[in-house]
Amino acid sequence: MGLAGMKEGRPETDMVPTFLGLRGIRLNWAIGFAASAGFLLFGYDQGVLGSLYTLPSWLAQFPEINTGPDSSPTSNASVLQGLVTGVYELGCFVGAISMLYFGNLLGRRVNIWIGSIIMAVGAIGCTASYSLAQLFVFRVILGIGNGMHTATIPVWQSECSPPHKRGMLIMVEGAMITGGIAMAYWIDFGCFFLEPSSASWRVPLALQLVLILPTFVTAFLPESPRWLMLRGREEEARCVVAALDNVPVDDPMVGKKLREIAASLEAAKTTRIRDIFTNGPERNLHRTILGFVSQMFQQISGINLITYYIGKTLQENLGFSDINSRILAAANGTEYFIASWAAVFFIEKMGRRPLMLGGAAGQCVCMIVLAILDVPRIKNSGNGPPVASVVFYFLFNTSFAWGWLGMTWLYPAEITPLAIRAQANGISTSANWLFNFMVVMVTPVMFNNIGYQTYVVFAVLNFVILVVTFFIFPETAGRSLEEMSAIFAVSSKINPYDVVRKEKITPRRYDKQGHLINDDVDIVEDYDKGDLEKNLGDGKRGGDTNVVTEDATATPTSDGNSSREHSPRS
């Protein structure tokens, strides 16, 4: 890093701290690239098994999980198949929960590196497996590393991103998940032609190693300034904030942001892990539950009914040929990837709530139609495979991509306070893996036992998601992490809708471009709660109403009055 001087009131390039020679928006995009690499790998892991389950060489190597027409009707193949998929989720759960202890101890970047090394071991083991037991063990190891990634990467990126770009940058992570899924489907399709060699499934599994490599670029990027402040490394945090904002380290806005972070730490400096489960002034339990529920909702929507089993479902349930089922699976993944970019561009314009509500509504409708189309009398009334079902698989993916794909990696990190953010995010991410495990375990069994009613179950669950989201999830778009802490602090302990209402009537501190518009005060957590509650109770809005108060930092002007800097917030 280097420092620069000032020229005509503006920072000289060589006086601004840099990482890899980058600063400002370019540095933010570099952080986004590193974060996205981890989620591209995550998506690839999710999609790679989808078309292997019907591969002859795969079934020859692991005959215990053959659920095809030639399998024994009394076998436990569907249960074992669910376990092959599900043990990965159990590993992810362990990795995510480990962040309760290691999240703040080691730092965001170190946990990402460790997760990458563990994933490399798991990928090598899966590729070299010759028995089902080996596959089980190395799928668990692979999952532990990915659990560490998914619990850490969103926190790292959200803590390094400006509020007006935080949603967009993290939604890119969601898009990368679908990019990884699409990549896996197409590689599965290409390697299908290597049959009957075991390379047809070993090569797709080995390619995980290639995708792990970009995650190590985090070694050259900044650590979270909030974590650095948590560990008492203020000068390093100052350099990181200055580099992210493209200003010198002595810029007034750098000091202002560090004071906000320090104040939030001071307010929560006595926080312990068990305090996550208390609902005191910080509303830690309330916020942790919201993060947990958001991840749970993502999984019980039924997305992994499609993601993990699309190739198998198209071939065994809908009657498509082995080649056509793989082409359609790859096309489905590609459409999913394209659809996910809509959320990247609309997340800040529309906000979190409209996308979540619209996504849940679309998912519910698609599951209802899929249930109708899968009723045996309707399913068997036409000639050839039911193409309409494929269309609604595509539409379900589109709804999910817009509303819930990246949202659950963004939202928990936006609503939890700094002192418990790593631990709370570990808990919320563990919900993703627990319910992911449940869905991938029961899906083969449900289709075998209740058929089309499987879709009915998920339709009902999506309706519940729609209703609950409307009543308990506050909007976070454009809010700084410290603003959300202030809003939760004055919400009701017993009425979960109250935080939604309080957010709506609380004036915004930054506009959609990240510029300070409500600049009379600094927003921190050691505020006068009574004044804030009075302002909110009066329903005051607009730039002249302040959320929280602290002695403000002012710059004297030539006429003796004070003025304040208006610059983007990180």
Domain closes at, from 422, 450, 472:
472
* Same-domain status, 324 and 452: yes
Q: Which domain holds residue 370?
A: 23-472
User: How does pLDDT run across 320-367, given as a tens digit for each residue?
Assistant: 888 999 999 999 999 999 999 998 888 888 889 999 999 999 999 999
- More confident site: 319 or 545: 319
d(CA 377, CA 238): 67
* Cα(421)–Cα(230) distance, integer angstroms: 11
> What is the tens place of the pLDDT at every residue in 366-387?
999 999 988 876 666 665 568 8
Average pLDDT of the chain, as a whole number? 82
Closest CA to 51 of 321, 366, 342: 321
Examine the pLDDT at 396 and tell me if it is beyond 90. Answer: yes
Report CA 484 to chain centroid distance, whole Å.
18
pLDDT reported for residue 527: 40
pLDDT value for 524 = 41
* 457 shares its domain with 522: no
Task: Please list, residue by residue across 321-352, b when 16 or more beta carbons sit within 10 angstroms of its beta carbon and e when fewer do.
Answer: eeeebbbbbbbbbbbbbbbbbebbebbbeeeb
Nearest Cα residue to 545 out of 506, 514, 498, 516: 506
Domain boundary among 443, 472, 501: 472
Does residue 135 fall inside a structural domain?
yes
- The answer to whether position 121 is within a domain reads yes
Are 305 and 245 in a shared domain?
yes
Q: What is the pLDDT of residue 5?
A: 38
* Residues 203 and 235 grouped into a single domain: yes
Domain end marker among 472, 504, 528? 472
Q: For position 473, what pLDDT does the model report?
A: 94
- Lowest mean pLDDT across 37-46, 67-76, 110-119, 412-421: 67-76
Same-domain status, 160 and 56: yes
Transcribe 439-462 into DSSP letters: HHHHHHHHHHHHTTHHHHHHHHHH
Per DSSP, which regions of 339-389 are E strands? none
**CATH classification of the domain holding 159:** 1.20.1250.20
Domain count, the chain: 2
Q: How do residues 478-500 score in pLDDT, each as one tens digit?
A: 887 778 888 898 888 888 889 99
Q: What would the mean pLDDT of 513-527 be, rounded to a whole number?
A: 53
Residue-wise pLDDT for 47-56, tens only, equals 898 788 888 9
Task: Judge if 437 and 494 occupy the same domain.
Answer: no
Is it the case that residue 152 has pLDDT exceeding 50?
A: yes
Judge contact between 444 and 379, C-beta under 8 A.
Answer: no
Does residue 17 sit within a domain?
no
Q: What is the pTM of this model?
A: 0.76
Please tell me whether residues 409 and 501 are part of one structural domain.
no
Same domain for 545 and 438, yes or no, is no
pLDDT mean over 184-202: 93
Instruction: Kindly state whether residue 153 falls inside one of the protein's structural domains.
Output: yes
Cα–Cα dist 128/275, whole Å? 44
Q: Is beta strand 562-563 parallel, antiparallel or unpaired with respect to 6-7?
A: unpaired
> Would 178 be classed as within a structural domain?
yes
d(CA 129, CA 137): 10
- Which residues sit opposite 510 in a β-bridge? 516
pLDDT of residue 191 exceeding 90: yes
Residues 443, 489, single domain; the answer is no
The candidate with the shortest Cα–Cα distance to 519, out of 486, 487, 552, 482, is: 552
Residues 461 and 517 in one domain: no
Same-domain status, 364 and 264:
yes
Lowest mean pLDDT among 178-187, 350-359, 496-505: 496-505
Question: How confident is the model at residue 516, as a pLDDT?
Answer: 67
Q: Model confidence over 79-125: pLDDT tens digits?
A: 888 888 889 989 998 998 888 788 788 889 999 999 999 999 999 99
Asked whether residue 6 is assigned to any structural domain, the reply reads no
Phi first, then psi: give them for residue 89, nearest 5 degrees. Answer: -65, -35
pLDDT value at residue 452? 87
Q: Are residues 350 and 461 in the same domain?
A: yes
Determine the pLDDT at residue 515.
Answer: 66
Q: Residue 410: CB partners within 8 Å, gap ≥ 6?
A: 154, 158, 166, 167, 170, 171, 347, 352
| Angstrom distance (rounded) from CA 28 to CA 24 | 6
Q: Average pLDDT in the 448-464 region?
A: 93
Q: Does any domain span residue 445?
A: yes
* pLDDT on residue 394: 95
| pLDDT-derived band at 519, boundaries 50, 70, 90 | low
Residue 2 lies in a domain: no
Average pLDDT over residues 143-147: 94
Residue 162 has pLDDT above 70, yes or no: yes
